[in-house]
Chains A and B, each alone.
Chain A
Amino acid sequence: MKPSGDTSKKDPSWKDVCSADDLQPNSGVCVLVEGQQVAIFFLVKENAVYAIHNYDPIGRANVLSRGVIGDIKGEPVVASPLYKQHFNLKTGVCIEDGQITVLVYPIRIYNGRVEIQVTVQEVIEAPAHEEANV
C-alpha cells in the first residue's frame, strides 16, 4: 500500500491523493485517504472536480465513483450505478430523497496534484440502514 497522501507544505489540512492525470475524463475514480473512501469526479469542459464519499447509502456498497455523472436542472450529479438515485456533487444531497446525504469533501488541484481535505466524520447512512441496525 502506498502512503495515502503526504501533507502539502503550505496547509497541512490538504491531503495529496493522486496526480491530476489519474482522474478519468467525465467520469469518476476512488481514492483511499485516512481510511476513508472518496469518489472524485472530473468534468472536463467545466474543468471542475468534485469529491464525495464513495459509499452509496441506499445500495449499501462502495460504488458511487463508478456512476454516470451529469446534471439535473444545472446541478452536477452522479447516478448511483446500483439503483440510479442521484446525488448532488456539491452538497451530497440525494435528489430522490432529501433526507439522505453523502459526505462532500473540499477538493482542489494544486501543482498538478489532486488534494482534498478530510475532516473525520461519521458516514451518514440511509435511515432504513439505521433501523436495520437496531
Chain B
Amino acid sequence: MTTKQSLVVIGNGMVGQHFLASLAASPVKDSYHITTFCEEPRAAYDRVHLSAFFSGKTAADLALADEDFFAANGITLHLGDKADHIDRSSKTVTSAKGVTIAYDTLVLATGSYPFVPPVPGHDRPNCLVYRTIEDLEAIANAAKSSKVGVVVGGGLLGLEAAKALTDLGLETHVVEFAPRLMAVQLDESGGAMLRCKVEALGLQVHTGKNTTLITDGKQCVNKMCFADGEELETDIVLFSAGIRPRDDIARACSLEVGQRGGIVIDNQCKTSDPDIYAIGECALWNGMIYGLVAPGYSMARTVVANLAGEAANFTGADMSTKLKLMGVDVASIGDAHAKSQGALVYTYQNGASEVYKRLVVSQDKKQLLGAVLVGEVSGYGTLLQYCLNGIELPENPDALILPPRSDESVGLGPDALPLSAQICSCYDVTKGDVCQAIAAGCTSIGELKAETKASTGCGGCAPLLKSVMDCELVKHGIEVNTDICEHFPYTRQDLYNLVVVEQIKTFDDLLETHGKGKGCDICKPAIGSILASYWNEYVLAKEHLGLQDTNDTFLANMQKDGTYSVVPRITGGEISPDMLIALGQVGKKYKLYTKITGGQRVDLFGARVDQLPHIWKELIAAGFESGHAYGKSLRTVKSCVGSSWCRYGIDDSVGLAIELENRYKGLRSPHKLKFAVSGCTRECAEAQSKDIGVIATESGWNMYVCGNGGMKPRHADLFATSLDKETLIKYIDRLLIFYVRTANRLQRTSVWMENMEGGLDYLKSVVIDDKLGLCEQLEQQMEHVINTYQCEWKTTIEDENKLKRFRHFINSDQPDDNVVFVEERGQIRPADEEERKHFKMMEVA
C-alpha cells in the first residue's frame, strides 16, 4: 500500500476552488491528503457575480461549494487563516494562526488585489475597493451617509462599480486616466460611443484625469484634486484602477516572479520550483496575467491533469469579452486595436441608434483578427467563432456588421463550426464534446449541462450551445425517430390520415389496428384531438374520456394547488353590464379570484372540482358558454372597438370578431388558436401577432396568418388583401382544416408554416388556388364541425352520470384539505408552503 502524499492549496478563491472541485472529480484525489488555506472568512464564492450582492443575493447564494464539499472529499479547510510563509527546504507552509503543514505538492492560488494608486490621501475615510464581500459591505455602509461617489478607473470593473454606486442612489462619477473608457478593449470611437451611452444613463465621465491628491472636502467627506487643476468633491472614492497579482508569499521564498509582478509559470503551470504550481490571477504565463476567470479555470484543470499523469498544457487563453455595462452591450474580440501587421479595418457607426461596430481583418480579407461592438452585440458569437477557429470570411466581410438588408441571415450556422470549436469557454467544452454527448443520448440542454458542464458557468454560451444542439438533434432526429411515441410508429399526420381513410372512431380501434401497449399521455390526447376535430363527438363520452388531459376531463384549467380556473366565452371581448354583473355574482358567491385575462375576457380562479358544475349551472343560466380555455382549440378572437365608436374605424371589427369566434369555437386543433380583428391599420387588436389576423381597409379585409406571441413571437404574414367577408371566411375555413390535418402535435400555426416546404407561397397555392384540389373537402369538414358544435359544459351539467366525476372523493363529500387560500389585495390566492403550515386548520367555506 502506498501512503498518501500531502497537497496544499494556498487561496480558496474562484480558481483555487475550481482546482479542488476538478481534483475531487478525478481519481487522483485518492493519492493525496488535501489541505487548503483560505484567508477570507468564508469559503470560495462567485466573485464574477459579486455585484449581485447589491441586488439582494446573499453570501450563501454566491457560494461556489456545497457546505459539505470539503468534508465529503476529505479536504481540510483552514478558514480565515492566511498562509504566512513557505519554507521550501523543509517543504512546509506555516499559517498566520501558527498551523504548519508539510507538503509534497503546493498550489498557489492567491489571486490578486486591487491596485490603489499611491496618491496622497488614498487611505482617507471612505476610500474603498471592490473585490470581496467585505468590501461591498463597507461600500453599502458608507453609502448610507453619502450623496456622491467617484470611481477611479473606467475599465470593465470600474464601470461595474459605478453601476453599483448608481444603484445605491449616489450621484456617480467615473474618473479615468486614459483618454477613453475601457481603453484596453475599445478603440477610440467605441469608447466614445460607450461614453455617450453611459452619460445618457446619468453617469458623469471624466477622462484624461490624473488624480494628484485626496483631501478634506467642503460639502463632502473628500475632495479630489487633479493635475489639470480641477477638483471634484465626493463622499466615496472607489479605486478600480487595475489588479496586481498577490505574489508576496512567492517572492519571500525566492520563487521567480515577473518584473512587474506575477509568479512565473510554464505551460504545466509549474513555478521555478517543480513542486510548486501557481494558477489564476497570481500567475504570470508568457508575460501575461489573465484577469478573467476562464483562463484560471483552464490552468486549474491543467494542474489536475498533470497530477493524474496526463500530458496537459496551458497555452494561453482568449480574452474576448461580451458584457452588459450599465445596460449597454459591449463586446471586444481578439485584436481590437488592429495592431497586427497589415490589418484592415471596417467600421460601422449609426449615431441615431448609437451602435458602433468595428471589424479587424487580415490583409487578404480572409481571416477575422478582432472586433469591437458597442450597443448591438448579437453578432458576438458568430464573430468569435470566425476569429477563434480561423474560419474563412465571406466575400464581403462588412456584411457581418452591417444591419441585415432583408431576411438573409449572415449568422454562422453551427454546421460551419469545426469540431474543435470551443462552445463554452468557462469549461472548455468543444463542439466535438457536445456532439459526442448528443450521440451518447443527451437530447436536452439540461442533460447536456449535466454531461459536459457546458453553460453552467457564466451562461454566456447558452444560445450557441442550444443552436449546436438543435442542429445536431435534427441530424440525428430525422433518421432516428418521428414516431409520436412508443405506442404508435406514426407521426400525427399519419394518424390523422389513418382515422380519415379507415374511418376510425375510437382510440381503442386505432390502438388495436395500428398501435401497441396501452397508450400514454402523449398519444392519447393527440388522438383524442384528431378524433374530435374529425368526428367532433362529445369529448367526455365514455370512449373518449380517458384520452383527455386533465383540463379537458374537467373542462377547466388546473392550477398549481389542484383547484381550477373557469373561463366563460366572451366573444370578441364584448360584454354587457348585466353579463358582467352575473359574472361578478358568481365570482363573489364562490369566493373566486377574478382577473381580466390577456385575451379580453375574465378568468375565475380557485374553484374546487366539486364546485365546477354548480358554477357552470349558474353561468349557463346567465347566458354564458364554455370558453374552451382548457382545450387545444380556439381561444379568443380579440377585437378593437372598430367603426361603431372609434373615429378612425373603417369597418365593424367587433361584429366580425364575434362572428368568427362563434364560427370556430370548439374546433379541436393540434394546438390552441388565437385570432384578432382590427378596425383599421392602427391595429389596436394586435392582429398581426395571431394565428389568424384580420385588418379592415377601405377596399375590404386584409388577412394575416401564422403569427404568434408567446415564447417565440412571430409576425403574421399578409396572406390575402381586400377580401369580402365570404371569401375571408372561406380562406379561414380551408386554412384551419389544412392545419388540423397536417400539423404536428402541439405545433402552433407559426411553426407549422415555417416547417412547411414552400412556406407561405405553398400555403397560398393550397388555400387560394386549390393546388391540391382539396378545398371542397376542407370546407365540408369545417361545415361538419360547425354544425355539430355543442357547449361541452351544457352537455355535461345535463348528464347526472357525468357529474359523478366532479367530486374530489368518489366516496365522500369532504373537500381536499390540502387546498388552502390566503388573502392578497382583497382576493384569495393559494397559500404557499409556509402559510399552508400555519393555516392548515383554516377551512374555506
Contact = CB atoms under 8 A, between A and B. Distances in A.
B808 A43 contact: no
A82 interface: yes
Contact of B812 (A2, A72, A74, A82): A2
Contacts of B546: 24-27, 68-69
A77 B560 contact: no
Interface in A92-134: 129, 132-133
B550 A43 contact: no
Interface in B789-819: 804-805, 808-814, 816, 818-819
B686 interface: no
Looking at B517, B550, B811, the one whose CB has the most chain A CB atoms below 10 A away is B811
Contact of A66 (B518, B524, B550, B804): B550
B40 interface: no
Contacts of B261: none
Interface in B572-630: 609
B460 interface: no
B810 A27 contact: no
Given A25-B542, A81-B549, A32 B520 contact: no
B266 to A, nearest CB: 46
A26 B560 CA distance: 24
B554 interface: yes
Nearest to B609: A66
A33 to B, nearest CB: 8
Contact of B521 (A17, A62, A63, A68): A68
Given A62-B562, A62-B816, A4 B811 contact: yes
A18 B520 contact: no
Contacts of A2: 811-813
B810 A22 contact: yes
A52 interface: no
A10 interface: no
Contacts, number: 114
B521 A70 contact: yes
A29 B517 CA distance: 22
A37 B809 contact: yes
Interface in A1-38: 1-2, 4-5, 17-18, 22, 24-27, 29-33, 37
B833 interface: yes
A74 B804 CA distance: 31
A18 to B, nearest CB: 5
Given A2-B811, A29-B810, A62-B816, A67 B562 contact: no
B545 interface: yes
B810 A31 contact: yes
B560 A82 contact: yes
Contacts of B486: 72-73
B550 A74 contact: no
Given A25-B542, A71-B518, A71-B519, A1 B549 contact: no
Nearest to B816: A62
A101 B743 CA distance: 37
A3 to B, nearest CB: 9
Interface in A72-97: 72-74, 76-77, 79, 81-82, 84, 86
A67 B810 contact: no
A44 B577 CA distance: 49
B525 interface: yes
A25 B487 CA distance: 19
Contact of A32 (B519, B805, B809): B809
A23 B818 CA distance: 23
A81 B558 CA distance: 8
B697 interface: no
B508 interface: yes
Contacts of A30: 808-810
Given A25-B542, A68-B525, A31 B553 contact: no
A72 B554 CA distance: 25
B683 interface: no
A5 B811 CA distance: 9
A83 B805 CA distance: 22
B517 A71 contact: yes
Interface string B551-572: 1011000101110000000000
A55 B818 contact: yes
A62 B818 contact: yes
Contacts of B833: 60, 129, 132-133
B793 to A, nearest CB: 18
Contact of A45 (B508, B521, B523, B816): B508
A33 B811 CA distance: 9
A59 B558 CA distance: 12
A122 to B, nearest CB: 16
Contact of A63 (B520, B550, B814): B550
A61 B542 contact: no
A41 B805 CA distance: 13
Interface string B38-54: 00000000000000000
Contacts of B542: 25
A98 B810 CA distance: 30
A129 B545 CA distance: 33
Contacts of B554: 66
B60 to A, nearest CB: 14
A65 B813 CA distance: 16
Contacts of A74: 517
A4 B809 CA distance: 10
Looking at A29, A33, A55, the one whose CB has the most chain B CB atoms below 10 A away is A29
Given A71-B517, A81-B550, A32 B818 contact: no
Interface in B47-74: none
A30 B521 CA distance: 19
A85 to B, nearest CB: 10
Contact of B811 (A18, A77, A86): A18
Contacts of B813: 1-2
Looking at B550, B553, B810, B814, the one whose CB has the most chain A CB atoms below 10 A away is B810
Contacts of A46: 518
Given A1-B814, A25-B542, A74-B517, A66 B553 contact: yes
Interface in B742-769: none
B519 A70 contact: yes
A33 B814 CA distance: 12
A92 to B, nearest CB: 17
A132 B834 CA distance: 9
B560 A59 contact: yes
Contact of A68 (B487, B520, B562): B520
A42 to B, nearest CB: 9
A32 B545 contact: no
A37 B558 CA distance: 18
Contact of A61 (B547, B553, B562): B562
Nearest to B805: A24
A71 B520 contact: yes
A73 B508 CA distance: 18
A74 to B, nearest CB: 7
A61 B561 contact: yes
A67 B550 contact: yes
Contacts of A4: 811-812
A67 to B, nearest CB: 7
Given A32-B812, A61-B819, 15 more contacts: A1-B814, A4-B812, A5-B811, A18-B811, A22-B810, A22-B811, A29-B805, A32-B809, A45-B508, A68-B521, A68-B548, A69-B518, A71-B487, A71-B520, A76-B518
Interface of B: 486-487, 508, 517-521, 523-525, 542, 545-551, 553-554, 558, 560-562, 609, 804-805, 808-814, 816, 818-819, 833
Interface of A: 1-2, 4-5, 17-18, 22, 24-27, 29-33, 37, 43, 45-46, 55, 59-63, 66-74, 76-77, 79, 81-82, 84, 86, 129, 132-133
11 contacts: A1-B813, A2-B811, A2-B812, A24-B545, A33-B811, A63-B562, A68-B524, A70-B487, A71-B518, A79-B520, A82-B558
Of all A-B residue pairs in the complex, the 9 with the closest CB atoms, nearest first, are: A26-B546, A81-B550, A70-B520, A79-B521, A61-B562, A68-B521, A71-B518, A32-B812, A32-B809
